[in-house]
Amino acid sequence: MKNAAIPLTTIEWNSAISFAARYVVKSTEVEVEAALYMWQEMEQVAGVPASDVTFNILFDVACKAGKFALAEMIYKEMGKRGIRYTRFHHRNGDGARAAYNQLVEAGEIVDTVVLNAMIAALISSYETNAAENTYERMKRMHNDQAVPRLPPKDYLSQRAITRSLKRMAIIGKDNPTLKESFQKRSIVAPDLHTYRILVNHYSIQAGELGKVAMLLEEMKFYGLPALLFMVAFGTPTGHQLA
């Protein structure tokens, strides 16, 4: 499209940055630099201003690559531009609980993505028991729902749900009853990312293979292919099972 001199929209630039940053399982400095280069090209060459989605992508890849100073800079840049912080930015290793409370107070809807961020932050803070409790809470919340729903597996459905949750958060700020209704219908079941976080921790860092086996068994309850998951993420346990 660029070579054909067809102007790219904000959505198309965001998609390109997302693909450049997230085409691998584990983000590294290479993906971070690619994303930053495209962001620079988007704004300085094409003259298309970044949106909140652009910053979500940049913040996400910086965190996943362990570039926390960069993530903080991106966070501050959002503040300078007056871009409202969303459900993706209320995550902090040392202040996980405070960040979670801020998210709830800000009117955001708690779902699988938010709880996954909480689990990852607690594990990073060496609070494994608290991370386990959050995982158990996910399962209880899912089981207590009148109509339990599992997270979608395709990208388009996930994106549609994310947009809906952001709209619900805006609407629910002025209507607590409506927000409570939205929360009850939110998808909170563990997904592949939940198990990736937990299995990586217990198999590689903690070496507790008994808990890994338990998690693999529990994945079946949520319709997730345990063996395929382990092979895909390349953990030592998955390699041995394969």
The pLDDT score that the predictor gives to residue 242 is 37
Q: Measure the N-to-C terminal CA separation of the chain; round to a whole number of Å.
A: 42
pLDDT at site 226: 63
Q: For helices 10-22 and 29-40, what crossing angle results, to 10°? A: 160
Percentage of the chain beyond pLDDT 70 is: 79
pLDDT on residue 228:
52
Please give the average per-residue pLDDT across 238-242, as a whole number: 41
Which has more confidence, 73 or 168?
73
Give the pLDDT of residue 136.
93
The pLDDT assigned to 87 comes to 54
Where is average pLDDT lowest: 18-22, 172-176, 180-184?
A: 172-176
What does the alpha-carbon distance between residue 234 and residue 227 come to, in Å, rounded to a whole number?
11
Sign of CA dihedral 46, 49, 50, 51: negative
Give CA–CA dist 233/75, Å, rounded.
29
Tokens representing 91? 């995550």
